[in-house]
Amino acid sequence: MSTQAAETSVRNDVVVEAPIERAFSVFTDDIDSWWPREYNLLEVDIAERTFEPREGGQIYDRGVDGSECHWARVLAYEPPNRIVFSWDISPRWEIEADPAKTSEVEVRFVAESPQRTRVEVEHRNLDRHGEGWEGIHASVSTEGGWAYTLQSFAARIQT
C-alpha cells in the first residue's frame, strides 16, 4: 500500500542570500512584492496586499474598487524568527468563514550565516478543510510522506 497519501501537511523551504531580518521583513512587510498576484479571491484586480505585523493582525487584499478580502489571521508574530497565520481559504480557493475548517501556516526563519537565511514553511492541519480526510489517517501509514514532499521541492527549487 502506498504510504504517501495520508499526510495532512505540506512543507517547503528555501534558502535566501540575505540576513535574517531582511528575510523576515520581506516575507511580512513586503508581502505585496512577491505573493503571487494570480491567487486573488477578489472579483477585481488587487491594488494592495497588507500583512498587519502583530499577533491578532490580518493579512488582506484590497481591490482596485476598494473591496477587501481578509484571508488570514496572524496567530504568532515573533520577528525575526517565526510567524504563524491561519489559512482561511477553502480548497476551492474561496474564503472559509468557519475557523474550525481552516488550516495554518508556520514560517520559521533560521540564520545559516549573517548573509544567508533558510526559510521553512509548514502548511498544516489540511484535514480541517474537509471531513473526508478523517478516515485516511486510520487506514494509511503516514511514513514517507515528508520525504517525498521535500524531495520534490528540492528538485523544483534547484531548477
76 contributes a contact to other proteins by CB under 8 A: no
Given candidates 56, 66, 114, 135, which one binds other proteins under the rule CB under 8 A?
135
- Report CA-CA distances (Å) from 104 to 48, 116, 125, 157, 159: 22, 26, 7, 23, 28
Given candidates 43, 66, 97, 134, which one binds other proteins under the rule CB under 8 A?
134
Burial 60-74 (b: 16+ CB within 10 A, else e): ebbbeeeeebebbbb
CB–CB of 23/16 below 8 Å?
yes
132 contributes a contact to other proteins by CB under 8 A: yes
Given candidates 70, 136, 142, 146, which one binds other proteins under the rule CB under 8 A?
136
158 contributes a contact to other proteins by CB under 8 A: no
**# binding residues, other proteins (CB under 8 A):** 47
- Phi, psi angle pair for 130, to nearest 5°: -155, 140
CB–CB of 61/48 below 8 Å?
yes
- In this structure, what C-alpha cell is assigned to residue 79? 520577528
Please choose, out of 35-43, 47-55, 62-70, 76-84, the segment that lies near other proteins by the rule CB under 8 A.
35-43
Residues that bind other proteins (CB under 8 A): 1-2, 4-7, 10, 12-18, 22-23, 26-27, 30, 33-36, 39, 90-92, 119, 121, 123, 126, 129-136, 138-140, 149, 152-153, 156-157
